[in-house]
Structure 1
Amino acid sequence: MAQALVIGAGPAGLMAAEEIARAGHKVTVVEAKPSAARKFLMAGKSGLNLTKNEPRETLIRAYSEASDWLAPMIAECDADMVQDWARGLGQTLFTGSTGRVFPNEMKASPLLRAWLARLDQMGVQRYTRWRWAGWSDAALRFETPDGMQELRPDSTVLALGGASWSRLGSDGAWAPLLAAKGVELTPFAPANAGLQVEWSDHMRAQFGQPIKGVALVAGGQVTRGEAVISARGLEGGGIYQICKQVREGADLTIDLLPDLSLEEVTRRLARPRGKASLSNHLRKALKLGSVRNALLMEFGRPLPNGAEDLSRIIKGLPVRHTGLRPMDEAISTAGGVSRDAVDDQLMLRALPGMFCAGEMLDWEAPTGGYLLTACFATGRWAGRAAARWLDSRS
C-alpha cells in the first residue's frame, strides 16, 4: 500500500507521518480506534496545553533521567517550534501566567481537524479500526473490519502510546508483541497520577476544595503546585509533580506554611494563649484557614502541645496514603520501550527499519505542556529517521 507505515494516530504518530510525507514518501497511518487522536482530544477538553514557553534548557530538564537522550529531539522541536507549527495550522495561541501555551479556542478539535486536512492534502492515507496483531513471517498483521490484513512496508513507525486511558487507545497491548521479538522493555508504572487517601468523615466538607499556600515534599522534590482534595484522595498538578518520588517509595509531607521558617512558626505558637483552645490558638496565630487546618487535624492528630514539636508537624505534615491511583487512571505512564532498545534515531535495534515515538518510549514528564512537546518531538525525530531509511533504500 505504501512505503512507510505509521501505527497509531496520536500526536506522535501524526507528526511522524507528516515528516515522512514531507520528505516525499508515501505513508499510511493505521489506528485501532474509530477515530484519530482520542487521548489528545480528551486532554484538550480542559484546555489544550501544547507546550511550556520557557528556555530550551529549562524545558529539557523537565524530562529528568531521560533528558540526556531526549535533548537533541527537544532541541529541534522546542516550545518555539511547537508554537510555529500550531500557527501554521491556523491556530492563534496565548501564553498563560505560568508559561503554559494554549490555543485561543482552548480545544484540541480545531487543531486536529486542520492537521488531518493538511495530511490529506499531502496524500497521507488513514485507516481506522485497524488493530496491530503482530507479525506473520515478515508481514505486519492487522485486525480490521474487513478481516485480517497484512502489510509489508519498507519502514514502520510505532506510536502506540503508553498504558493509561485504555478506552482511548493507550492500552499497552503492544508490549508482548515487541517483547516476543527481543525488544527490551521497562515495566509500565503510573505517572501524573492522583494519590489514594482514605479520609476520615470530618474531611467530607473539604471535598472539591483546592489546597493553597502549601509545599509538597517527597524524595527531595519540592513543589508549590496546585492540589485538590477529592473523595478518593489528592489530585492536581502539584501531586503529579511528586508522583515519581512517591511511586518509588519516598514519604510525602506537606509544609503548611512554606513562606515561614520553623523558628517563626514556633515563635507565633509560643505566644500566650490564655483560655483559648488549641484550635482557636492555631487559627489566630497562624491563620491556616479551613482547608489547611483540616489537613493538620487529619494527618497530625494527636497534636503535640509544645510549640516546637507542633511547628515541626506543621512544617512537615506526613501524608498517610495507600499509593497512587490505578495506572489506567493516570494521565501518562512511565516504562515502555527502554532507551537501550533503540538507537539514536529511535530505531529498534532488534527490528531494523522499525522506529518508536511518543509515550511508548520509556520517559516521563510532569503535566504542563511537557508531555505533548515530547510526543511531537519524538514523532518528528522518528519520522525524519524513517524517511532517511527509505531514502537509503530507494
Structure 2
Amino acid sequence: MKKLENWQKSFFTIYIGQAFSLLSSSAVQFSIIWWITVQTGSALFLTMASVVGLLPQAVIGPFAGIWIDRYNRKAIMIIADIIVATSSLVLGIAFFWGIPSITFVYVVLFTRSLGETFHRPAMQAAIPQLVPKSELTKAGGLGQMVQSACSMIGPMLGALLMSITTLQYVMLIDIIGATLAVITLSLVKISKHRVILGSKFNVIHDMKEGIKAIKSNEALLRISIPMLISTIILVPLGTLLPLMVKNYFNGTALHNGIVQTLFASGMLISAMVIGVTGGIKKQFLMISLGILSLGMCSLIGGLLPASAFWIFCIVVFIMGTTGMISNIPYTAYIQKTIPQENLGKVISLVTSVMSFAAPIGMFIAGPVIEIIGISKWMIYAGILMLFVGVLSYLLTSEFDSTIQIEDTIYE
C-alpha cells in the first residue's frame, strides 16, 4: 500500500504542475487559432497553421525519442517547457511592438510544437517509471482526465481573455503555467531508466532498434494501421472546427469556445470513467468501438442544417467522449508491452508517423473543403471512419483473446 501511495503522490505532483501548463497552453492555442480564423477566414491558412505545428513532431520526433531513451527524461521535459514559454513571450512582445504577421505566428507555432515534440513522449515514457505496470491504464485515464479538463477550461479562458483584451496579454499566461510546471517537475524524483551498457550514441542504430521493437509486436503493428488512417481522416476535422462554427453556423468566438469546451468535456468524462474502471477488458475492441463512434458522430454532425448549432454541440460532446476510448488504451498498450530502453523511441516513432499522416489529411482536406464545404467533409469523413472501425476490429479481434494485458483492475 505504501508503494501505491508513493507513486500516486509523485504522479499527481507532476500533473498538478502540468495542469497549469496545459491550461495556459490550451488558452493560448485557442486564442492563436481564433486570431488566424478572424484575420483570414480561410481553411488554407488554418491548414497551414496545423501543418506548421505538426512538422517538428513528424520530422524531429524519431530523433527526439533517441535522446529521451538516453538522457534524463525529467530534464528534457523541463527544457521543453522553457522553450514553449519563451516562444509565447516572444510572440507577446511582437504583438506589443505591432508586428502581428501570419508568418511570425507560424514560426511561434512551429517553436511551440518543437518543445511539445520532446515533452509529450518524454512524459509518456517516464510514466512507467513512476506507475506500477498494473495501474498504467488507470494512470493513462487519470492523466488524460487532467489534460481534458484543461482542454475544456482552456478555450473558455481563451475566449474570455480575447473578449476583454488582446492576444499579447493572453500569451503572458503561458509563461506562468510553464513556470509552475517546471517547479513541480523539479520536486519529483524519477528513477533512471535502463540504458544498454556500452552502447554508443548512434542515431541510425537507435532508430533501427525502435523500429525493430515495433515490428516484433504484431498486435501493435495491426492496431496502428486503423489508428493511422483515423488520424489522416479526423485531424483536419478537429483543426477546422472553428471554421465550421464561424462559416457554417455563423458563430462567434464565444460559440467556438462552447464547441471546444464541450469537446473537451466529453474527453474529460470518458477519461474519468477509464481512469476509475480501466475500461472494458477487451481493449482492442474498445479501440475499434471508439473509431466507429467517431465516424458516426462525424456523419451526423455533417448532416445537420446550419440552424442546428446546439444539436451540433451535443454531437461534438459525444465525439470528444468517444475519442478517448481509442487513444487511452492504445497508449497504455504501448507503455505495457515495450521495454523501457526502447519506449521513448517507440512513442516518438509512433507520434512521428501519426504527425506525418496529419499533414497528409490536411493537404487533402484544405483545398477540398474550400470547394465542397466543411459540412460535406464531415459526412465523407464519417463514412470512411465507419469502414476504418470495422477494419480495426477485423485486424485485432484475435489479440483480445490471445494476449492478456496485465491489469489488477480485472483481477
TM over 0.5: no
TM-score, length of structure 1 as denominator length: 0.26
Between Structure 1 and Structure 2, the one with more strand by share is 1
Q: Which has the higher contact order (CA 8 A, sep 6+)?
A: 2
TM-score, length of structure 2 as denominator length: 0.25
Between Structure 1 and Structure 2, the one with more helix by share is 2
